Amino acid sequence: MTILVTGAAGFIGSHLCRALLAAGEQVVGVDNLNDYYTPALKQARLEQLAKFEGFRFSQCDIADDGALEKVISPDTVRVVVNLAAQAGVRYSIENPRAYGRSNLTGYLNVLEFSRAAKNLQHLVYASSSSVYGDRTDGPFVESDIVRKPSSLYAATKISGEMMSQSYVHLYGIPMTGLRFFTVYGAWGRPDMAYWIFTEKILRGQPIKLFAAGEMFRDFTYIDDIVSALTTIVDTPPKDSLHEIYNLGNSKPTGLMDLVTAVEMACGQEAEKIYLPKQMGDVSETFADISRAQAAFGYDPKTTIQDGIPVFVDWYRDFYKI
Ligand SMILES: NC(=O)c1ccc[n+]([C@@H]2O[C@H](COP(=O)([O-])OP(=O)(O)OC[C@H]3O[C@@H](n4cnc5c(N)ncnc54)[C@H](O)[C@@H]3O)[C@@H](O)[C@H]2O)c1
């Protein structure tokens, strides 16, 4: 029986596939390899996965009706992990339709695929810390009411949780939704601040700091996330059939501390340009992680002082800088 991972060429998806394959699982990965950021990076991640015998990849757009069913027969799938999405808060201002397509229509197709999968034990799907809206009263708890999205991206992630609940109620599919908090690390995402700061600093270019640097993010290291994911995949919820967990670090870090960590790892100080807060951005993210701790021993240990140098080393090696 197979684990189907959507968004397999993405940052979190490729790390998860590697961990599952290393543990001897059979994994089918799909991704549409879109150009929101450079597809060359997505291809390079896939090249790493192609080394494993248990991996099969298909370029497939989950928003196309019936596309997943052409890749794999639903009855052969044991677990679905939906990580495919149009990510990023700021891009949802420029290109809202990409979010409707991947995060709503695409996710509906994943739900329909899962409904048809007679041997499915668990559907795990990505939500986001952005569902909590623009708040400064953290830590944010899963039971908080989430009705004030600050961006269309956040609205589609809240919708994903609601769509999931309706399929749990109607069809009894066990599901786990994961609210990720600013995940970072090697093979990361070029649209995220830690990547942009590294790129600019190593090239001697100034960096832009929005909201005068007065922003806090609960940076969560990819290895901590993947270790949780590999446990969650085989831990379907028992009683409620639908669980939602915060996967953060529970240690919000100021943007200026992130800049310092990147500067130290790069060995260069950045020239800084201060700009107003951008549309859609939230001031703070801060996860209460006690639910995940109690349910499956989630215990993120990596600080940005440890994790950022690993990313910068990977970046220098990948781009030969
Ligand atoms: N990285 C984070 O900090 C973070 C935080 C909160 C939530 N998330 C969520 O976690 C998931 C994974 O994020 P990531 O950081 O790996 O992002 P990513 O952009 O690196 O990965 C997403 C992948 O999905 C693919 N994709 C997008 N639309 C698709 C479609 N219609 N059909 C098939 N493939 C499609 C993309 O090509 C990409 O490779 C996403 O759902 C994202 O919203 C991530």
Q: Tell me the pLDDT tens digit for each residue of 104-150.
A: 999 999 999 999 999 999 999 999 999 999 999 999 999 999 999 99
Q: Does domain 2-185+219-250+285-301 have CATH number 3.40.50.720?
A: yes
Exposed e or buried b per residue across 72-108, where buried means at least 16 C-beta atoms within 10 angstroms of its C-beta = bebeebbbbbbbbbbbbbebbeeebebbbbbbbebbb
Average pLDDT over the chain, rounded to whole? 96
**Cα–ligand 1 centroid distance for 83 (angstroms):** 5
Tell whether ligand 1 has an atom less than 6 A from the beta carbon of residue 159.
no
Residue 4 in contact with residue 67, Cβ under 8 Å? no
CA of 203 to the centre of ligand 1 (A): 27
For the segment 182-202, the average pLDDT, to the nearest whole number, is 98
Q: What is the mean pLDDT of residues 49-69?
A: 98
The pTM assigned to this predicted structure is 0.98
What does the domain layout of the chain look like in residue ranges?
2-185+219-250+285-301
What's the CA angle centered on 21, arms 18 and 26, to 5 degrees?
135
What percentage of the chain reaches a pLDDT higher than 70? 100
Tokens matching residue 106 = 């695409």
Please tell me the distance from the alpha carbon of residue 277 to that of residue 125, in angstroms, as a whole number: 30
DSSP state string for 26-50: -EEEEE---SSS-HHHHHHHHHHHT
> Is residue 153 annotated as part of the catalytic site, yes or no?
yes
Pocket of ligand 1 contains residue 57 by CB under 6 Å: no
Q: Which two tokens stand for residue 62?
A: 């989950």
- pLDDT at residue 213 tops 80: no
pLDDT surpassing 80 at residue 211: yes
Evaluate if residue 214 carries a pLDDT over 90.
Answer: no
**pLDDT band for position 239 (cuts 50, 70, 90):** confident
The pLDDT of residue 42 is 98
| pLDDT above 80: residue 212 | no
